[in-house]
Structure 1
C-alpha cells in the first residue's frame, strides 16, 4: 500500500476512532484533539462567519468541515497528500470548503484572517522556515492558531523506537516562541492539553487493539503494529512529562 494512500486508513480506523471518543467529540479528526478542543481553539482565534481560514496539513479535514459547518468561515485546506485531499473533498459534500494539494512551505497567497496548523507542527524539522511564511500569509492582526508537541528533541534511542521518526521533531516552547517573535508573531493565548490527550491516546490505543483484526485486514498487520507502537510511546511520554501537548494562538503584530 502506498504511503500516500490515505483512503484505506480512513476507512479502516473510522469505527475504532468513533468508539474511542465521547459522544459528539469525534468529527473525523486524525489526532488526539476533541471536537470541544477544536471549537475552543477556533473561538480563541476569532473564527466566525466570513473569516478567511487557511488550514495547513489539513489531511482529511475533519476539523475544517466542523468549523465550516458550524461557524461559516471561508475555508481553504491544504495538504501534500492527494489521497487525503480526495477523501476530504468527498466528505465535504455540499459544504463550501475548498482544498488544494501542495507541499508546505510555501503557503498559498493570502492574506488570510487565520492560519491553522493542527497536530502537525511536529512534522516540520525546520520550523523557522514554516513560521517565516506565516507572517506574510496573515492580514495585520491575523492569528496563527496551532498545536505544539513541546519538549526537547528526540534522542537517538527514542527515534529508533518511534515509527516514522522522520516526521517527529519536538521543540521546546521557548525556542518556538522565539521563532514566532522573530517572524513578527506574538503568543496571545496558550492552553495545556497534555492530560486530556494522554487519555485520548489511551482510548484510541484500546480501540485500535479491540478492532485489530478488522483494521489489519484493510491496512496490513505491520501498519497496525506501527500505529499501536507510536500511540503507546505518546502515552508513555505524556505520562512522564517527556512531551507536553499545547494549543496556542499567535497574533501578527
Structure 2
C-alpha cells in the first residue's frame, strides 16, 4: 500500500489520537508505524511470523507500538475501536469465522478497515499457476458484504484501487526482473522464480479485471 492510501483509509476509519487499533497480519508493520507516528493512535500489531514481529519491534524504535505473535483466527480477546486487515483478506479461506472474530473485539460503533482482492475463486488451472495458492482465497465483493452483514458489520465506505495496485504490481515485477541476480543470491533461485511468477499473475489479473482491489470500512452495529 502507498502512504497516501494508508492515510486515506485511516481517515475514513476515524483513526486519531487515543483511538485503539488492532492490526491483524501486520507483518513488519509499515502502515501501523506510520499511523502511530502521524496520528498518535494506540496500536497493537499481530502476526504469525516471529521474525516479522521481531523486525517490527526493531523498526518501531521509540514509537509506542505493541506487537505480539499470534496465529489467526482466533483473534485474541480485547476491545478495540478499529481493526485493520491490510493486503491479507485473501489468505483466509474461512472468511465467515474471521469476520465473526473481528466483530467480537470491536467496541459498539467500532470500525473494520480492510483492503480486499475481489474476484471469483481461482479455477483449478489458476491455482496450479499461482505459487502458494493455498494462501489465495478470492471472494467477490457482494459475498463479502453479505458475510460482513452476518457478522453485524455494515459497509459505510468503499473505494476501488485497482489501477493504482496494478501499477504497483507492475513496477515491482520490473524491479524483481532487473535485480534478479541479487535477489536470487539472498532468497535462492526457486523463491525468486515464484516471486516473479506471482507478480506476473497479479499484474495480469489486476490489469485485465480478473481481480479488482478495494478498500472498505465497515461499522459494528
Aligned to 2:139, what secondary structure does the other structure show? Answer: coil
Partner of 2:209: 241
| 1:184 corresponds to 2:152 | yes
2:80 corresponds to 1:109: no
- Secondary structure in 2 matching 1:228: helix
Cα deviation 1:9-54 (Å, max 9, x = unaligned): xxxxxxxxxxxxxxxxxxxxxxxx1110011000000000110000
- Kindly report the root-mean-square deviation, in angstroms, between the aligned alpha carbons of the 2 structures: 0.6
| Residue 51 of structure 2: aligned partner | 83
TM-score (norm 2): 0.99
Alpha-carbon displacement from aligned partner over 1:147-187 (angstroms, at most 9, x marks no partner): 11101000000000000000000001111000000110000
Map 1:1-253; keep pairs closer than 5 Å: 33-253=1-221
Name structure 2 gaps, 5 residues minimum. Answer: none
Q: Which runs of 4+ in 1 moved over 4 A?
A: none
Distance in 2, matches of 1:224 and 1:60, equals 20
Inter-partner Cα distance in structure 1 for 2:34 and 2:182: 27
Provide the secondary structure at the position in 1 that maps to 2:15: coil
TM normalised by structure 1 equals 0.86
The 2-side partners of 1:38 and 1:174 are apart by 24
The count of corresponding residues between Structure 1 and Structure 2 is 221
Distance 2:74 2:93 in 1: 15
Inter-partner Cα distance in structure 2 for 1:235 and 1:85: 29
Q: Secondary structure of 1:237's partner?
A: helix
Describe the superposition over 1:107-158 as per-residue Cα deviations: whole angstroms up to 9, x where unpaired.
Answer: 1222100000000000000000100111110011000000111010000000
Structure 1: 5+ residue runs without aligned partners? 1-32
Give 3-state SS (helix, strand or coil) of 1:196's partner. helix
| In structure 1, distance between residues paired with 2:177 and 2:53 | 27
SS in 1 for 2:199: helix
Secondary structure in structure 2 of the residue aligned to 1:248:
strand
Secondary structure of residue in 2 paired with 1:214: helix
